[in-house]
Amino acid sequence: MKIFAKISLCAAFVCGAAVTSFAGQGAPTGAAVDPTADEQKALDALKGKLEGAIVWATSRSNSHHDIWIMNADGTNARALTKSDNVDWFPRISPDGSTVMFNRSKDGWVPENDANYPEKWDLWMVDISGENARKVVDNATWGTWRPDGKSIVFSRAGKVFLMELSSKAEKMILDGEKAFNKSGVILQEPNMSPDGKHLAITLRGSMRETGVWDLEKGGWTKSGDGCQIDWNFDGSKLYRVNPTGNGGTAAPSEILWFSAKEGKQIEKVGFFGIPKNVKLMDLPGRRSHEYFPRLSPDGKWLVWGATDKGHDHDMFDYELYMWKIGSPVESATRITYHSGNDRWPDIWLGKVPVKEAPAADVAAKAETAAAGAVGAVAAGASDAKMDELIKAIKDLTEAVKGLQDGKNASVPPNP
């Protein structure tokens, strides 16, 4: 019993702060809130500045969390997945066509159970919201390799590389053997662009972040905190650190470091944190930063922040966007909802959404119109007429999308 109690207590901590078990429940769906005049001004200034997409997990329309998508400039937010299970940790493929994410096997499962791979699978969905499919059983923390042909993921204390075409899996790190310690959990493994190193958050019987050398073996510790990752070319490492400004639960901030041959250059120790290592620490109460994600070009940062609480999947985290190098105060809040918003990812460029040929849309519209005329003549029921009206409305939107789709980075979900 004492051993079980110790394990349960250890599992109830994330990034050094206590969290509560919400098994069997769900997250608050919350409600939309209005931005202040200054926040609205910042949102308006961001509109049209970037082309691309941001995806994230949210409880705003489903207490079990769905994946949502918006334009990279913070506009046109909409649902990408709809499931009775928990969808979270979305990652956009390098070509922008596909989103990979974690999905629970059965209803509500708290994120705190990410260490139990038997509760999760990896799924993918087209960026249009179509063709959702399972790709890996019993896995979490899936990330893409630069060519989009393979992925990296965790199963508790082990990390695997899988070729998508063949589904062939290869274990690339066994945490217990590597660290010679039982109970080591490997969270959010991010392989360096050159494939030689693995940035990892250690949990379970070890609690730190760092980089494992896949070629030579050996561990280089970065420090405490969590969510360590690389920039686009491997010249930088960034992570969450449990210091700085913060909400009522605990302080946190986002740090970044220069990296050479997979090793962190700047050090964080007894004498504090060098100024050039501090990437983002919002002023004010909403400064409990988590889920940092650099844009593919390394020029923008998206992340989540809350002013109270800690649970990743329960509390009111809001998403922010910031052009790196500009004043911290210029960071733009891009979500306004008291539900839970977390784990954003950003992709820049023209989103490759497949569009139906104009001829197909026109033919469907003609068929629907003919059906409506026939239904009226035959005295169709109200329910049938409502169904036909909806079909015509959907087709009208599709035709409109063909006409002006070039003006929208992420077209509406069909």
DSSP β-ladder status, 288-294 and 300-306 = antiparallel
> What is the arithmetic mean of pLDDT over 309-336?
95
pLDDT, position 14? 43
| Main-chain phi, psi angles of 201, to 5 degrees | -100, 120
Q: Tokens for 362?
A: 């026109």
Higher pLDDT, 374 or 328: 328
pLDDT, position 310? 85
> What is the arithmetic mean of pLDDT over 154-174?
98
Non-local (6+) Cβ contacts of 316 within 8 A are 28, 30, 306, 307, 308, 309, 338, 339, 340
Average pLDDT, whole number, for the chain? 87
pLDDT, position 152? 98
Model pLDDT for residues 269-297, shown as the tens digit of each residue: 777 899 999 999 999 889 999 999 999 99
> What is the arithmetic mean of pLDDT over 367-394?
59
Q: Tokens for 231?
A: 């920039």
Is residue 388 very low, low, confident or very high in pLDDT (cuts 50, 70, 90)?
Answer: low
Q: Measured between alpha carbons, how far is residue 305 from residues 102, 247, 284, 372 in Å?
A: 21, 9, 11, 50
Non-local (6+) Cβ contacts of 335 within 8 A are 56, 58, 77, 318, 319, 341
CA distance 409 to 400: 15
pLDDT, position 362? 52
pLDDT, position 281? 95
* Span of 58-72, 86-100, 312-326, 348-362 with lowest mean pLDDT: 348-362
pLDDT, position 412? 45
Q: Residue 330: in which H helix or E strand, if any?
A: none
pLDDT, position 405? 47
